[in-house]
Structure 1
Amino acid sequence: MALDPQAKALLDAMAALPALDFTQLTAPAYRAMLAAAGSLAPGDAVASEEDLRIPTPNGSLAARVYRPVVAGGGNDALLPLTVFFHGGGFVSLGIDSHANICRCLAQRAQTVVLSVDYRLAPEAPFPAAAHDALDTVRWAATHSAELRVRPGPLAVAGDSAGGNLAAVAAQQLRGDGTIAHQLLLYPVVDCATEHPSYESLATGYLLSAAQMRWFKDLYFGPDAGQADRADPLASPLAAALADLRGVASATIVSAEFDPLRDEAEQYAARLAQAGVPTAHVRWPGQIHGFASLIGALDAADHVLTHAAQALHHALHVSPSRLRQPETT
């Protein structure tokens, strides 16, 4: 199919900007450039937002809790929890950049969303972000009273690099009742291999193959080898089939014009092969990161409704009955 006209207009406008030289660009300069680009549309209105810090073995992490306006009133009802990890190539962005996605998921899925500021590379290289994801999910699963959410299985969600972390958490915590569902929006799931879409969609579609290589080089650092990149903590697609059995059900969205498209779709197929209930959709005409572009792309609103419906079904309609013990 052709590019969505709204996505094409956005890409045409961006084509007039100076090209980034990823052989010279530093992470601080890239973060500053993103900060100067301004904010995105805010997303849905929610009942409240609260900042907190999550203790981990490697120090506390900033986080934010989004509580929806409960349909039909009854805002004191305990809602299920979704832990969200933002994208940004493991190098950039954070809670604020992805607030619009979190608000929409919270309101439309009727879930409390806990958005986590995991450590970024290159200051904290692999496996820091993966460890932060596991630590925060474990903490959230045992602190439902503190978070004022429904006890029991939670969902994990993320876009791009955050989708990687959500997938890692779902794999590593498989079978213990912690995670009911994983929502992965155009995730990074293979840091070791470049799939055909890296070549066919290498340039001209917002995220480039060169940019992904730059992200990965910063995430792993100069001393990492191929074994690090192929570790399932970095590349969920590299996990053995036996290690995927028992992983939480999945909703995976790929974008038609995204260098990461093929690996996301292979991961959906791999999960299904392992017997994991998996729903995958390739969003036609769209580019990497499109869910964030509320107000600029109609597809952003549509995909967030799709994602929220999947979360709502997993958490409200057919949640696992497994329960985890509370700790204080």
Structure 2
Amino acid sequence: MSTANTPTSGLHPQVQAYLERISRAGFAELHTFTPEQAREGLRRQIPMLGEPEPVAAIEDRLISLAGHQVPIRIYTPAGVAPRPVVVFFHGGGFVVGDLDTHDGLCRNLANGAAAVVVSVGYPLAPEHKFPAAPNVCFAATQWVAAHADSFGADSRRIAVAGDSAGGNLAAVVTHMARDLGGPPLAFQLLIYPDTDFRRSNVSIREFAGRYGNITRAGQHWFMDNYLRGDEEQLDPGVSPLLATDHSGLPPALVITAEYDALRDEGEEYAAALARAGVPVEVSRYPGMIHEFARHPFEVSATARSEAAAALRRAFAEASEK
């Protein structure tokens, strides 16, 4: 995939049609909504994502994690147990999103990777500001390792995954697992991850308010809801790109989109992993936009297949150790 610093391919026709449809709807700017209004708006878009594919079994549970009652959804594909397991954290800027908004993507990953997927409904801001989300996501990963047998999973083959804010949380969890005694992680799948709250790179500045990306005011709306103060932007638990040590983390696939405002920081994070000796692959998808992996674009299916294949390879390698 191309990793040049400027768009070259033009928007994919399916993306262009989608953006034109959204534009005709005349939605108000995100920062003018309350968090609950924004959450409801995202939930109303679920039918646009297409019919979700069937999975052999789905179970909802409510578990206690880090002082919170947390909903999780366990997707079990067909096959023989014990299966590897992916702990998935949904996107939504730490403010919106839930188990339902990312249900289709989790089904895709479960079937494609032949792995149990545990989707975590971590607490949202501003009701629960940083560090509630990463603390719960790390506790969920520990819970999966401790209870894998109860849902037919293999605690020796665990990956973390997420898109956008969920990619941030997956990255942060790998640092926490390394520094706080595990569990060992076989892989990290970071789909257009949010890794740098300084909001200063080329793509975050040039694409704000364009190609379906939120405006600069929208960027600050998310950050102001998530953080208690601007000084937290530099905390590695908020901006994992700024961590002083990226060594000893699990292998990674970082998926980015050509017209995504988060493109550069995802690729910069991958470069930081590579400099630290972490095996990492970067795939930039030409003509695509933020959140494309959830949508029924033809290229989105390719990205989901790539993600699933990377997980399968990582789990196969973990089995050999």
Normalized against structure 2, the TM-score is what? 0.92
- Aligned to 1:84, the other structure's residue is in SS state strand
Aligned residue in 2 for 1:258: 260
Aligned residue in 2 for 1:3: 11
Q: CA deviation at 1:57?
A: 2.6
Alignment check: 8 A CA contact 2:56 2:77 kept: yes
Q: Does 1:55 align with 2:60?
A: no
Q: CA deviation at 1:320?
A: 6.3
Structure 1 unmatched ranges of 5 or more: 323-328
Q: What do residues 265-294 of structure 1 show as CA deviations (whole Å, max 9, x unaligned)?
A: 100111000000001011111000001002
- Aligned to 2:156, the other structure's residue is in SS state coil
Partner Cα distance (2:183, 2:175) in 1:
12
Give the aligned residue type for 2:229. A
Cα distance change of structure 1 residues 44 and 36 upon mapping to structure 2, 3 Å threshold: closer
- Aligned to 2:287, the other structure's residue is in SS state strand
Alignment of 1:263-302 (within 5 A): 263-294=265-296, 297-302=297-302
Q: CA deviation at 1:18?
A: 2.0
Aligned residue in 1 for 2:226: 219
Partner Cα distance (2:187, 2:24) in 1:
41
Aligned residue in 2 for 1:319: 318
Q: CA deviation at 1:19?
A: 4.1
Alignment check: 8 A CA contact 1:209 1:259 kept: no
Alignment check: 8 A CA contact 2:142 2:183 kept: no
Alignment check: 8 A CA contact 1:163 1:184 kept: yes
Give the aligned residue type for 1:36. R
Aligned residue in 1 for 2:237: 233
- Aligned to 1:280, the other structure's residue is in SS state strand
Q: What do residues 133-152 of structure 1 show as CA deviations (whole Å, max 9, x unaligned)?
A: 11101111111212321131
Partner Cα distance (1:230, 1:60) in 2:
29
Aligned residue in 2 for 1:36: 44
Aligned Cα root-mean-square deviation (Å) = 1.6
Q: CA deviation at 1:62?
A: 0.3
Give the aligned residue type for 2:150. E
Which residue of 111, 116, 119 maps to 1:115? 119
Aligned residue in 2 for 1:326: none
- Aligned to 2:74, the other structure's residue is in SS state strand
The range that moved more, 87-96 or 187-196, is 187-196
Partner Cα distance (2:46, 2:319) in 1:
41
Q: CA deviation at 1:192?
A: 2.6
Alignment check: 8 A CA contact 2:66 2:135 kept: no
Partner Cα distance (1:133, 1:232) in 2:
15
Which residue of 151, 154, 170 maps to 1:150? 154
Cα distance change of structure 1 residues 251 and 21 upon mapping to structure 2, 3 Å threshold: same
Aligned residue in 2 for 1:69: 78
Partner Cα distance (2:126, 2:113) in 1:
34
Which residue of 83, 87, 95 maps to 1:83? 87
Aligned residue in 1 for 2:6: none
Give the aligned residue type for 1:193. R
Normalized against structure 1, the TM-score is what? 0.90
- Aligned to 1:206, the other structure's residue is in SS state coil
Question: Number of paired residues?
Answer: 309
Alignment check: 8 A CA contact 1:174 1:248 kept: no
Partner Cα distance (1:111, 1:90) in 2:
26
Partner Cα distance (2:268, 2:66) in 1:
34
- Aligned to 1:142, the other structure's residue is in SS state helix
Partner Cα distance (1:23, 1:59) in 2:
27
Q: CA deviation at 1:22?
A: 4.0
Partner Cα distance (1:100, 1:311) in 2:
17
Partner Cα distance (2:276, 2:269) in 1:
11
Aligned residue in 2 for 1:303: 303
Which residue of 103, 110, 130 maps to 2:134? 130
Q: CA deviation at 1:299?
A: 1.2
Give the aligned residue type for 1:276. V
Aligned residue in 2 for 1:162: 166
Give the aligned residue type for 1:274. A
Q: CA deviation at 1:68?
A: 0.7
